[in-house]
Amino acid sequence: MPSESAAATAEDFRPERRLHASSWLFGTASYLKSFLVPLIAAAVIGSSREFALWAPVTVIVPLIAAALWRQWVYRYGFSQHGLVIHEGLFFRNVRTIDYGRIENVDTERGLLHRALGVAEVRVETSTGGSAEARIRVLDLAAVEDMRARIFERDRPAASAHDAAPSADAAEREETLLELPPAELVRFGLIDNRGMLVVAAIMGVLAQSGVFENANEWAAPLLARLPLDAVAAFGVAAQILLALTLAAALIVSTRVLSILLAFAMLFDFRLTRANGDLRTRYGLLTRISMTLRRRRIQAVHQTATLLHRLFRRVSLKVDLAGGLTAENEARQRGAQQHFRDLWLAPLVRPENAEALIRVALPQARVAGLDWQKLAPRARWRIFRVLSLSWLIAASVPAVWWTGWWAAALLPAALPLFWLHASLYVRYTGWALHEGFFALRRGWLTRRLSVTPRNRIQSVHIGSSPFDRRYRMARLDVDIAGVSAVTHRFCVPYLDRRDAERLAAELVASRQTQ
Amino acid sequence: MAAVDTETPTSESPADCDRSVDPRTVAVWRWSTLAAFAPAAAVLTVVAAALSLERLPAAPLVWVVWLLVLTAAAVAAWRYPPARYRHLGYRVDGTGITIRQGVVWRTQSSLPKVRIQHTDVSQGPLQRRYGVATLKLYTAGSRFTRTELPGLEHSEAVALRDRLQRQGHGDAV
């Protein structure tokens, strides 16, 4: 590649491509979204005055004008080196993103997008945090064209070590996983996000002070209810009524969860093209994400009690450059999308292995050489639980019910022993040729795998209690761990084991 | 005031992290501990003096608290930094750096050289006065993005930084 002339053309390069004709609509909509709450507030509060009708209009008209202007000015194009974007109302901005640096070209399509046959495009590099460019909006042909141009140029460079697929394989997309409706129903039942929605609604209601003046609206309502009749039912009927209500609540939240599962993950499919993974899902808002293999840092497998009941597991991945906790805190002000990076929302345990190997070729999860926690870990967990239970529960128990309750307190101790035993049995780590694996928990069983060459640093912590038991806690830090529950953290290790493990994790195969 | 009871009699020095930092850092830590106590001591002094001038019954109690705080400050400033110094060690080898620190809650952090993204050598005013510096190492990790090694002699910190960064041109993540 003649770099001199290429550099010259890159500077002179003037992008010619324009946004889809309906872009202004989405631009306005996105502004409106951030103004929505104030607007509604203004409309509601000022509803008694004529002014209220005009307030939204005075806001919306300039927004439309701005969006139209933005669309008019916006240009993008493909120079020799990278994607070039010209934008800006008054302050002109030229952004160039090298093809080699582009990791993802993701799309997001809401109902309106789909009605108009367009998509919002996010171009991401490995910098992390927000998308490098957010192109709002392009028609689908243009998106495919963009994908092809970006990744086609990238291919010769990347494929050198990436098991180059043949030319026609690049065209083909291999479907690795689909979620039929039956699976979505199962997902809804397991995930139970409906409960969260109910809780959130309750929270909002509590915030808005509905419960404070509950007397005003609830008292007349209660007065009209046939409470006397209920009282006449007798105790058995009342209990039955309460149980029915509870059951109805549970059923309705589960139904809500299933609906949410459909909305969120409808027609989920995981495909492989060019060695990279792609997920597409969503009923109303259609999401398409590329999980580039070299960005995948770890795979996490979760199996709650319900998962096991349905004989399923969930798989998520961590991507480098995804939102880390710090980034999230830093950018909370900015509009941020952070979603679960599903590899498989629901998959049979026997098929999970294959998917994990697709994401992390050097890893596996079956037949690992699991190492145990320190020998006295079980005793320590039991002791801590028991002591804190006895201390915390004895005073209120004796206070409220009298001394005979104190005799009942130790009844919980076998449960603690059971918990400690199970926890110790299901928690462990495994270190193999190319990867490090960790499993923890017995009720919700989590299993995480990360390639050894993705490990950023290793930390051993020991509290005074740890030292008393000659134990230590090991923290393995990788890039892009998103949730607290996904930490690579092993407590209750034997101190010598921890030190040996840390030394091995850091020392070996840091360079690939 | 947890600093007082931190004198845990554990003399088992880290075997492999045998490099110590500059002893002058103990003085830095002593002064900075005193400085941390200064506002509380000043407020207490003012309150106690005011109460004594007014001859209020609470005045002796405040003077007792004043005495306790000052004693605690003195003990913390005198006894804790040497312990902290004893428990701070590091080791640099072909793969990277390992740092041990902490008197009560002890940590040992191992950073491979290839993972170090960038580094800082920073000096506060007190540290400048004593010629020591803090070496800060950043990785692309998520929870432990920054690891610090305080109390190095400034030139030593710079040399260590150069040594760690020279070969540290691994892949980005």
Please judge whether B106 and A462 are an interchain contact, meaning their C-beta atoms are less than 8 angstroms apart: yes
- Final residue of a structural domain among B52, B67, B86: B86
pLDDT at residue A128, rounded to an integer? 52
Helices (H), A233-376: 235-265, 305-309, 325-330, 349-359
How is residue A351 written in tokens? 């098929």
Closest to A145 measured CA to CA, from A169, A108, A126, A119 = A119
Partner-chain contact A461 B173, CB within 8 Å: no
Strand order in the sheet with A82-87: A75-78, A82-87, A93-98
pLDDT mean over A348-375: 90
Q: How far apart are CA B66 and CA B86, in angstroms?
A: 30
Domain boundary among B86, B109, B138: B86
**Does residue B172 sit within a domain?**
no
Give residue B155's pLDDT.
93
Inspect the interface and report whether the beta carbons of A463 and B104 lie closer than 8 Å: yes
- Is A170's pLDDT higher than 60? no
Q: Nearest CA to CA, how far is B132 from chain A (Å)?
A: 25
ipTM: 0.82
The closest CB to that of B142, out of A467, A479, A510, belongs to: A479
Q: Residues B82, B101: one domain?
A: no
Six token digits for residue A299: 């795979």
* Position with higher pLDDT, A263 vs A125: A263
Question: Looking at the domain assignment, is residue B5 inside a domain?
Answer: no
Tell me the C-alpha distance between B98 and A502, whole Å.
Answer: 10
B4 within a domain of the structure (yes/no): no
CA distance A271 to A159: 19
| Least confident interval from A198-202, A304-308, A363-367 | A198-202
Smallest Cα distance from A507 to chain B, Å: 6
Give the residue from A434, A436, A506, A473 showing the smallest Cα distance to B92. A506
pLDDT tens by residue, chain B, 173 residues: 333 333 333 333 344 788 999 999 999 999 999 999 899 889 988 988 888 888 888 888 888 988 998 899 899 899 999 999 999 999 998 888 999 999 999 999 999 988 888 888 999 899 999 999 999 998 887 788 889 999 999 999 999 998 887 654 444 44
Same domain, B134 and B118: yes
Q: Is B2 a member of any domain?
A: no
When the pLDDT of each residue in chain A is averaged and rounded to a whole number, the result is 80
**Number of H-type helices and E-type strands within chain B:** 4, 6
CA of A243 vs chain B CAs: smallest distance (Å): 45
Q: Is residue B162 a part of any domain in this protein?
A: yes
Say how far apart CA B1 and CA A146 lie, in whole Å: 62
The verdict on a CB contact (< 8 Å) between B109 and A487 is: no
B78/B98 same-domain check: no
Domain boundaries, chain A: 184-265, 292-373+427-507, 377-423
| Whether B150 and B103 share a structural domain | yes
Domain containing B153: what range? 89-166
State the pLDDT at residue B12. Answer: 38
pLDDT at A509 over 60: no
Q: How many domains does chain B have?
A: 2
**Does B10 fall in a domain?**
no
Is B145 strand, coil or helix? coil
- In a domain, residue B29? The reply is yes
pLDDT at site A436: 93
Within this chain, do residues B82 and B98 fall inside the same structural domain, yes or no? no
Percent over 70 (pLDDT), chain A? 78
Same domain, B143 and B77: no
Shared-domain flag, residues B79 and B93: no
pLDDT tens for residues B110-149? 999 888 888 889 998 999 999 999 999 988 877 888 899 9
Q: Where are the beta strands (DSSP E) in A110-207?
A: 118-125, 133-139, 174-178
Q: A459, B107: Cβ pair inside 8 Å?
A: yes
Q: Does B167 touch chain A (CB under 8 A)?
A: no
Q: Distance (Å, rounded) from C-alpha A275 to C-alpha A293?
A: 7
| Residues B69 and B102 both lie in one domain | no
Same domain, B80 and B93: no
B6, part of any domain: no
The pLDDT, as a whole number, for residue A483 is 52
- Asked whether residue B161 falls in the same domain as residue B99, the answer is yes
Boundary of a domain, candidates B29, B56, B86: B86
Q: Chain B residues with CB inside 8 Å of A475's CB?
A: 143-144
